[in-house]
Homo-oligomer: A and B are copies of this chain.
Amino acid sequence: MILTVTLNAALDVTYQVPALRVGHTNRPTAADVRAGGKGVNVARVLHALGHETMVTGLVGGDTGAAIRADVLLAGLREALFDMAGPSRRTVTIVSDGTATAVNEPGPAVSISDWADFVGGYHALAARASVVVLSGSLPPNLPDDAYAQLIRATPGTPVILDTAGPALLAGLAARPAVVKPNVHELTEVTGLDDPLAAARALLDRGAGAVVASLGPEGLVAVTERGSWRVRVPEELHGNPTGAGDACVAALAAGHLLDWPDRLAEAAAVSAAAVPCPLAGDIDPDTYTRLRPTTTVEALDAHADR
């Protein structure tokens, strides 16, 4: 079972409008409401890939009840914990291929709600083959909240997908993989070159760094070598869920060697782009791209 953790789960509202007119009333042609937060999206992709998953995190209020109901509707197993505050909403307006989002920060988590979660997390993570920690922290949790969770189960590999201080503090607990995007890499290292920045995160404690470069594919730096991965076409659509799909494939492929694992991650990630909603992947796109995805070793001792 792969456990995905979403501490700041959200009710994601997505509107399609023909052309967003600022300062006016817009009439959406479609409205979708679904459970979100990056860990929920990762679990959706894992489920679509045929892997057994469990969704955990903190939810509260009416929005939390709606998140829990939608997770079950999606066929996902959940062990979500109740918190006192109401779960946040995100609103995304998609028009002309552009996504404009308003993301609420989420409620503060009380000390007792956090203690209950950490206690329950130990038992869940101990049963997991891989743990995925995804997304922003609730506003009042300390930067090292993810580090606490990583240290709780030293035998279980953890993939950490977060940004800023939560990412930096998490590195000290030696997660197996971190997956920043290119903006997050630059923000935390101050380095513009993705390869140099990824090496800097490896030096700070990550077992491996897989950086998503958008249409440029992936670059990975690990203790076994470094690789650049590319898919042979540029895809159009909504790139919001591509990072979560990449993380799902990295978790699903944790027993593969690095080149195969990275090729899977790049192809599954690209297969998310044609889908309007984060958490979905297009199987036909995956099937078409997977055989032509290229993995280039960047150093002499890398496997391949």
Q: Which residues of A contact B (CB under 8 A)?
A: 13, 15, 17, 20-28, 31, 62, 65-66, 89, 91, 93, 98-105
Given contacts A31-B104, A104-B28, A105-B27, contact A91 B15 (CB under 8 A): yes
Given contacts A62-B62, A62-B66, A91-B91, contact A102 B15 (CB under 8 A): yes
Which of chain B's residues has its CB closest to A23's CB?
Answer: B98
A180 to B: closest C-beta gap in Å: 16
Bound complex: CA A31 to CA B20 (Å): 21
Interfacial chain B residues near A91, Cβ < 8 Å: 13, 15, 91, 102
In the complex, 13 of the A-B residue pairs with CB atoms within 8 angstroms, ordered by the A residue number, are A15-B102, A21-B100, A22-B100, A23-B100, A24-B100, A25-B101, A25-B103, A26-B100, A26-B101, A62-B66, A91-B91, A91-B102, A93-B102
Interfacial chain B residues near A99, Cβ < 8 Å: 23
> Do A26 and B62 touch across chains, with their CB atoms under 8 A apart?
no
Bound complex: CA A21 to CA B23 (Å): 13
Interfacial chain B residues near A62, Cβ < 8 Å: 62, 65-66
Which of chain B's residues has its CB closest to A98's CB?
Answer: B23
Interfacial chain B residues near A103, Cβ < 8 Å: 25-28
Interfacial chain B residues near A104, Cβ < 8 Å: 15, 28, 31
Interfacial chain B residues near A21, Cβ < 8 Å: 100
**Which A-B residue pairs are the 10 nearest by beta carbons?**
A25-B101, A23-B98, A26-B102, A22-B100, A15-B102, A91-B91, A31-B104, A28-B102, A25-B103, A23-B100
Bound complex: CA A105 to CA B91 (Å): 17
Bound complex: CA A220 to CA B196 (Å): 71
Bound complex: CA A143 to CA B21 (Å): 27
Which of chain B's residues has its CB closest to A62's CB?
Answer: B66
A282 to B: closest C-beta gap in Å: 23
Which of chain B's residues has its CB closest to A16's CB?
Answer: B102
Bound complex: CA A248 to CA B20 (Å): 32
Which of chain B's residues has its CB closest to A240's CB?
Answer: B25
Interfacial chain B residues near A23, Cβ < 8 Å: 98-100
Interfacial chain B residues near A31, Cβ < 8 Å: 89, 104
